[in-house]
Every structure is written in structure tokens, then in C-alpha cells.
Amino acid sequence: MGDIKQSTEQHTQVKNSAGLPCSYELIDRLLRFPTMSETSNLELIEFIESQFQRHGIATHRTYSDDGQRANLFATVPAEDGEMSGGVLLSGHTDVVPVEGQPWDTDPFTPTIKDGKVYARGGADMKSFIGVALWLLPQVIEAKLAEPIHFAFTYDEELGCLGAPRMIEEFGQRGIKPRYAIVGEPTLMNIVVAHKAPQRGRLTFRGVPKHSSLAPFGINAVRYAGEFIHFFNGLVDDLRDNGPRVEGFNITYTTGGVNFAQGGSAYNIVADQCVLEYDFRIVPGTEPEELAERIRTFLREDIEPALKDEVARVRSLGGADEKALGKVGVDFEVLARVPALNTSTDAPIVKFAEELGAVLDGGGESTHVSYGTEGGQYYEAGIPAIVCGPGSISQAHTENEWVELSQIEACERFMIEILNKSKA
């Protein structure tokens, strides 16, 4: 895809010649890439990269293990060549799937109606990326006192999987932004804190048998059920006795086993069952402690019980030793996103307020239960907030939309970032 050319004059206009936000052409192009998580985003990354390359700005990619998805990081340096400090503008390129959702329009063909843009990713969060790219030519032309950084990531929707590789890479090059602004949809309000998501998977392996011969088999679903019972008790304990953090709409850690898949038929003893759980952990609680409580339960309760089952089946005679050798349970933490816990009095909050963003202004709450890459910047020692166009209530829904007025508000916010960064 070719470059989208922009003039300096466009940046000073309220709307373009079609009466749309000046950044809309770029946003429209981005929304047409079906970059669902775990699918390739490389075509979109190439398009974004071209916007930097035509200005002679170096870009840096870091890839997923399979090489099919990439992060992109770029820095427009200060006039004196300084590459560290300054503001980082961060957005994820992936979107959630649309399967099973009753859309009224093609989710990857942006549709404007009644002052809103309908498309997957309109709110979450390609509008922010489009506005950042729209700002780029003016950033290039400006004499900057400090650099402006651009970061675009992959697989955020799967647990912020891409950002850590990018953060490590630019850290190794000695680049440490002064502030990070993550453009998730907040109605351009300032979010200072979010919980720490943790996603885990357990795979239970048993021995299949015809259900009429159930004593000669080991039912994986049974032991998966025992884990679910344990997990629900753990979540209840966190609710009743765990720490609480005021400011969140749900002040305690929550969780659930939200995916279960096991067995093959009603009359076959299930030889496998896979569970996936989700925690949303309040700041101040160590996520690894919860993972360790799961490991302890598996080690002290499930694994001994499965060993007893193996011995019982073997004692019946005629056991399939190959099948018995596979009995067990595997546990892996698939994603861990650190909490964001910026103080409302932090300099980055004051900085954003000076740019026109609002703290607790009736839009998004200052404390949210979902996770973002802001927690990863925060953990890396980069002060971070979340602030972007659109509402989180529209994210992941059918007929996802963002108001054009929100895009315009984001444009004004970006221009103020640039003005603050000038020499």
C-alpha cells in the first residue's frame, strides 16, 4: 500500500475537505487490515513503517516466535540528536475476532453514520494509532526539545504478549522515554491504575475407556472439576479476605475458569480436559503468589490422587501401560500483565492534564479492571497513563464504533503533546 501524504496545513485544520477529522484517511486505512490476534499483522506493520521511512526515520521490529507478527518502534529524535526521554505514544495493532457477532456492516469496511465510525478496532484502538501517524509529519518538521517515540505492538488482546519484547529491545538501545501514553479508549480521560490480568491453562490427562468399563479408565474431566472447585474457593477467599483497593468499581481480585474443553463422547471416559482461567488482580497483590497456590494444590492434591488412580487401574490387571504413563496434569501461565498503579498526583498526570486530558471527568474511571500495556511500561520504570479516543464499553462488541468528535479530541491532544515537546 502507498503512502498517505499530509501537508502542514492539514494539521491546523479542524476537519479535512470532506468534513471529517484530519486523521480519518489514515484511520480508515488501518481499520481495513483484519489484524485479529494470532493472525499476521505484517501487512499493517509494513504500511505503518512506510510512513516513517519516507521521512528517513529508522524503525525497529521485534517478532513473535513464529515470525508472523511484529512490534514496531520508532523515535523522532530531539533537535540535538537525543533519543532518550520524551513522550512515548503506544498502541496495539491487533483486534479481537468478529465471529459469532451480528454486525450490521462489514466490520473491516469502515462505515460512517450519525457522527460515528463503525468498524472492528474503531475504538480499540486503531483510531489512536491513526491520529499518532497523522501527527508524524508535523513532528518531523518541528524543532524538538525532546524526542517523541511511537510504539505499535502485536497480540495485546491475548495478554499483552508483544510489548515486553519491544520494551526490552529499546531498553537495550539505551532509550527510556520520560512518559508513556497508552491510547486505549477512555473518552480522552486519564486512567492511572488497572488490575493485573493473569491467564493460565491446565491440561488434565486420563485414560479413555468405554463408559461401561469406567473403573478401568481415569476420567480427566473429574479432576478438572476438582480443580474448578478449588479455584472457585480461592476466588471466594480473595473476595472475602484478600486486599481491597479503593477506586476500582470492584475493589478486590476476581477470577474465573472461563474455558473448559474435555472428553469426546458421553460414553467414553474422558482422557483429556483443558481449562483456562483468568485473574484480575488488584495492585499490591503479587500475581506469582496466586500461581504458586495453584501449583501447590496440584502438587499436594491432584497429582497424588492421579498416582493413586494409576495404581488402582494397574491393580485391576490388563492395564495399558503406555496410556497410564501419560496420566498427569500440566500447568502453564499463558500471560501475565503487571498492574498499573500511577498516583493521581504523579507528574505524568499533571502533564496530561495540561494537554487537555481530564482526570475523573465523568468518562472512564481513573481505576479500571481491564489490563493494558501501561502496566508493562510502569513495571519497566516508565511512568504511564492510559488515555485515548472512544469508550471501552464499545470495545469487543458487535458494531463497534467511535465518535468522530472523539477522534478530533485526540488530534487536539496530540498537537498539544507536540507543542510541549518543541524546543
Q: Which of 75, 92, 94 is nearest to 84 (CA)?
A: 75
**CA atoms of 250 and 90, how far apart (whole Å):** 27
Q: Confirm whether 94 is a catalytic residue.
A: yes
**CA atoms of 180 and 417, how far apart (whole Å):** 12
The grid cell for 201 is 491453562
Distance of CA 224 to the CA centre of its chain: 28
Q: Which of 201, 212, 324, 333 is nearest to 271 (CA)?
A: 324
Inter-residue contact 58 to 48 (CB < 8 Å): no
The number of beta carbons lying within 10 Å of the beta carbon of residue 123 is 29
Element (H, E) at 186: none
Cα four-point dihedral sign 350, 351, 354, 360:
negative
Q: Which of 105, 84, 107, 136 is nearest to 381 (CA)?
A: 84
**Measured torsion, CA atoms of residues 124, 47, 180, 419, in degrees rounded to the nearest 10:** -110
Active-site hit among 28, 49, 94, 373 = 94
Active-site hit among 49, 146, 156, 411 = 156
Inter-residue contact 86 to 146 (CB < 8 Å): yes
The grid cell for 156 is 495485546
Percent composition of the chain: helix, strand, coil (DSSP 3-state, to 5): 35, 25, 40
- Decide: helix, strand or coil at residue 133: helix
Q: Confirm whether 106 is a catalytic residue.
A: no
**Strands 340-341 vs 193-194: parallel, antiparallel or unpaired:** antiparallel
Supply φ then ψ for residue 90, to 5 degrees.
Answer: -125, 135
Q: For 188-261, where are the alpha helices, taking DSSP H only?
A: 220-241
Strand order of the β-sheet with 87-92 is 59-63, 70-76, 148-153, 87-92, 179-182, 384-386
- Decide: helix, strand or coil at residue 17: coil
Inter-residue contact 260 to 224 (CB < 8 Å): yes
Active site residues: 94, 156
